[in-house]
């Protein structure tokens, strides 16, 4: 199953990308998280940052998909509720022969909901690693 959380990209250059994820009460996973008080799960906020990172790097990759191979210092702040839009910002920190290190954040009306660092690696390189 493939799903896209990013609704639109609003700004982009070689080093950063800003995108928006608008949360709708029609999204199935919200029904169970939490019944009667729906909030966007933290893992979906992280996935939105990862998808924004893939979008930032899309012109640098061929057909080899990028996979998440490391997550560091993720912190969650405010909740994101249906009817709100999460503004996701990702910035390229560094690139090496195996992949890209990025930092990202997601906010609602200037209130941080998620922030952290993560690494994206081409699938073929990730499968060659012995420590994964």
Specify the pLDDT at position 1. 47
48 confidence band (pLDDT: 50, 70, 90):
very high
Per-residue pLDDT, averaged over 9-36, amounts to 93
d(CA 52, CA 41): 17
DSSP-derived letter for residue 35 is T
Token digits for 44? 């979906």
Domain ranges of the chain: 8-128
pTM of the predicted model as reported, rounded to 2 decimal places: 0.92
Which SS3 state, helix, strand or coil, does residue 34 take? coil
Nearest to 7 by CA among 87, 81, 110: 87
Tell whether the model's pLDDT for residue 28 goes beyond 50.
Answer: yes
> What pLDDT does residue 8 have?
97
Q: According to the model, what pLDDT value does residue 85 have?
A: 98
Concatenated DSSP letters of 21-60: EE--TT-GGGGGSSTTS----HHHHHHHHHHHHHHHHGGG
CATH (residue range 8-128): 3.10.129.10
87 pLDDT above the threshold of 90? yes
Helix (H, G, I), strand (E, B) or coil at 56: helix
Q: Which residue has the higher pLDDT, 89 or 62?
A: 89
What are the residue numbers of the active site?
A: 33
Average pLDDT over residues 13-33: 93
- Rounded average pLDDT over 73-99: 97
Q: Are strands 66-76 and 8-12 parallel, antiparallel or unpaired?
A: unpaired
Where does the pLDDT of residue 31 fall: very low under 50, low under 70, confident under 90, or very high at 90 and above?
Answer: confident
Average pLDDT, the chain: 92
Percent of the residues in the chain that have a pLDDT greater than 70, as a whole number: 96
């Amino acid at each position: 199953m493939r799903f896209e959380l990013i609704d639109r990209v609003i700004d982009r250059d070689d080093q950063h990308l800003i995108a928006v994820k608008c949360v709708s009460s029609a999204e199935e996973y919200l029904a169970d998280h939490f019944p009667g008080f729906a909030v966007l799960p933290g893992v979906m906020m992280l996935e939105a940052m990862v998808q924004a990172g893939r979008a930032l790097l899309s012109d640098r990759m061929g057909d080899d998909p990028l996979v998440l191979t490391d997550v560091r210092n993720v912190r969650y702040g405010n909740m994101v509720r249906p009817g709100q839009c999460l503004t996701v910002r990702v910035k390229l920190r560094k690139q090496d022969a195996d992949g890209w290190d990025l930092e990202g954040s997601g906010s609602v009306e200037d209130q941080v909901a998620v922030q952290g660092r993560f690494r994206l690696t081409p699938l073929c390189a990730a499968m060659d690693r012995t420590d994964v």
